[in-house]
Each structure stands twice: as C-alpha cells, then as structure tokens.
Amino acid sequence: MAATFRRFAERECRGSSPLYEALALATAGDPDLRSIAKTTLAGQPVPNLFFAAVHYLLLAGTNDRLAEFYPSLTAQPGYPEEAFPSFRAFCLDRRQAIERILGTRRVQTNEVARCAYLYPAFALVAELSRRPLAVIELGASAGLNLMWDQYRYDYDGATSCGERDATVLIRSTFRGHHRPRLPPRAPVVVDRVGVDLDPIDVRNDDQVLWLRALVWPEHRQRATLLASAVTLARRSPPRIVRGDASACLPDVLREARRDAAVCVTHTHTLNQVTDEGRAALSALLDESSRELLLYRVSAEWLTTAYPVVELTSWTGAGVTTRRLAVCDPHGAWVEWLVDQARDAG
C-alpha cells in the first residue's frame, strides 16, 4: 500500500498536482491513513479513490481548515507541503464517512478532454470502414465521451474541427512529426451506448458532484470542461447499460447496427479489470467480429510511460493492432504515431 501511494505521487501527480503529490508521499508513510485507504473496493485504484473521497466531502460543504489548501475551493490556497497535518486530522475525524465512500464508490473519471485523441482515432475508423459508426464504450461513467462527435476541437490554436456551434470546446496540442487527418466535421454516429458497473446519472446532482470530486484540485480547466459537458448531456443523456461488460456486452453487440462500423472503445479502464477479464473481452470481440465490421479503440496506461492509443481491426485477413498515439493522461497533448500520408500513398 505504501508503494502504491509513492508510485501515484511520482508517476501520476508529479508535475500535475503538487497537492496530491505531497499528500500521497505523506500518506505512504502513515499507517493510520493507509488503514483507511485499505477499505477501498477491490480492484479500484486506491489513491485516486481515497483522495476523491476527501475532495467529495469538502466540495459537499464540510467545513474544515483543510479546504484552505484546495485550489478547487479557494482562490489563494496554502502551500501543498503544509497541508498534510490538516489532511490527516480531517481523515481521522471523518473516518467513517470516508470509509463509507471508499466501500461504495468507484473511480469513474469522465475525462472529456480525452476526446482529443478519440476524435482522430474514430475518424480513422470511419475512413477505413467507409461506414457510419456505432460506438460502444466500456466503463462509460456518465457517457460524456460517447458524445465526442458533439464537441468542438482546437489543436495547437490552429486547427479547428468538430461540431461548429458546440458549447463544449476541447483544446489540445500535437507533438512529434506526424499529424492525423482531421475531418472538418465528425464522422456520422448512428448509435452510441455505454456499459458501466455503476453508471453516473447526469441529472443527479450528487452523482455529478462525485464526478467533480474525481477531478484533481488544481485542474480548474478540467472542471470547467466537465461542467459544460454535463450541461450538454442533461439535454439528452446517452444510453448506459448497467452491469459488468462480460455479462452485458454480448447483448449490446447482438443489438449493434449491421450497416455500421461497430467501434468498441475504452479509456483508462483495463487497470480495473483482471487478466482473465481482459482475455475474455478479447475472445468475445474475436467471436463477434464474425458477424460485425468491428473495431476496437483503446487508450490504456498499464506498463508504459504514457497512455497508449491503439486500434484493433478485424478484417478478412485477420486481426491487426497498431499503435496510433501516445498521449497525456488528461488529453492535454497527443503524439500521433501513424504516417497517414504514407499510408494513403
């Protein structure tokens, strides 16, 4: 458990969240706080859920000095390296409330800016298949990333694409030598459905507050983007099927449009799935590809330095997987790896 918190601090928080980096390093050395964190649901990323539980209580209005260190709660936060005594006292005083959250909630970060790399990936699927898309998202949370075609995108302040009059604007940058082909308008999506163990209802204020709590305190732009996407989703929430993908996905695939390119997608999800579950998912998709024109777009961060975006295609020649990009965990930058100009030639 101590190593888990240290790894979280050094690998995920450093350079992104000074507050969580400081708190995670201190928690790694505190057996009392680690004993609270151990009550997290099996399979869930412990530091993420632990810090989100505390953030949730603060956002819900719990009055405590700890709030003075959270940029999400004050315009002039205290120094992160001075926050731990208040954090420790808060956790011990509210141990039961925190453990109740840890035992019932899941990490369901609906990071809308990840659509910055989904847009070119789905555009490539549409180009390869020459069909409209039917998108199925695993671990969909509130389904905000299912609405990727309803957003506007700005890359490097120079390239704009997507829905022209969108109320949600996603900004990102490209790194490296290659650039994807970005259609001015998103490919046509004829169907979209999510699968999640515990879907977030965008019309439920408390569930939306949990989504907000999962956004790190310093990340004000992410919080603003989340709020605008929730506002849009409330007009017409995407369909989310409740349940484990192993149980629900076969039926969802059977219902999929035969005239569409069926695209199964997941982002930062497999870290919560066992090796057996991952193998079962791959086997199910292999089997379903006999009846469907099937693609898989994944963005996972398991053993690599940065998240990796991959595209798996099932064709008459067999199954192929290629790496499309590496990217920032929150979509701030994308390094596209495919030379599409050469492929076209």
What ranges do the domains of the chain cover?
A: 2-102, 112-204+215-344
With cut-offs at 50, 70 and 90, classify the pLDDT of residue 344.
Answer: low
With cut-offs at 50, 70 and 90, classify the pLDDT of residue 313.
Answer: very high
Asked whether residue 43 carries a pLDDT value surpassing 90, the answer given is no
> What is the rounded distance in angstroms from the CA atom of residue 32 to the CA atom of residue 26?
11
pTM equals: 0.92
Q: pLDDT for 256-277, tens place per residue?
A: 999 999 999 999 999 889 899 9
Strand ranges of the sheet holding 189-196, from the earlier edge strand across to the other edge: 159-162, 152-155, 169-175, 333-336, 318-327, 308-315, 294-300, 261-267, 133-138, 189-196, 239-242
Domain covering 112-204+215-344: architecture: 3-Layer(aba) Sandwich (3.40)
**Quick one: pLDDT at residue 109?**
77
**Quick one: pLDDT at residue 31?**
98
**Quick one: pLDDT at residue 340?**
79
CA 32, 35, 36, 39: dihedral to nearest 10 degrees?
180
Question: Mean pLDDT across the stretch 325-329?
Answer: 96
Among 69, 82, 70, 84, residue whose Cα is nearest residue 26: 84
Total H helices, total E strands in the chain: 12, 11
Asked whether residue 119 carries a pLDDT value surpassing 60, the answer given is yes
Neighbours of 321 (CB within 10 A): 10
Q: pLDDT for 50-63, tens place per residue?
A: 999 999 999 999 99
Lowest mean pLDDT among 12-21, 85-94, 315-324: 315-324
Question: Mean pLDDT across the stretch 122-141?
Answer: 97
Q: pLDDT for 159-200, tens place per residue?
A: 999 999 999 999 999 999 999 999 999 999 999 999 999 999
* CB-based burial label for 192 (10 Å; 0-12, 13-18, 19+): buried
Question: Mean pLDDT across the stretch 83-105?
Answer: 98
DSSP 8-state secondary structure symbol assigned to residue 8: I
With cut-offs at 50, 70 and 90, classify the pLDDT of residue 345.
Answer: very low
% residues pLDDT > 70 (the chain): 99
Element (H, E) at 318: strand 318-327
> What is the rounded distance in angstroms from the CA atom of residue 62 to the CA atom of residue 283?
47
> What is the rounded distance in angstroms from the CA atom of residue 134 to the CA atom of residue 254?
12
Separation in Å, CA 117 to CA 38, 161, 245: 34, 13, 23
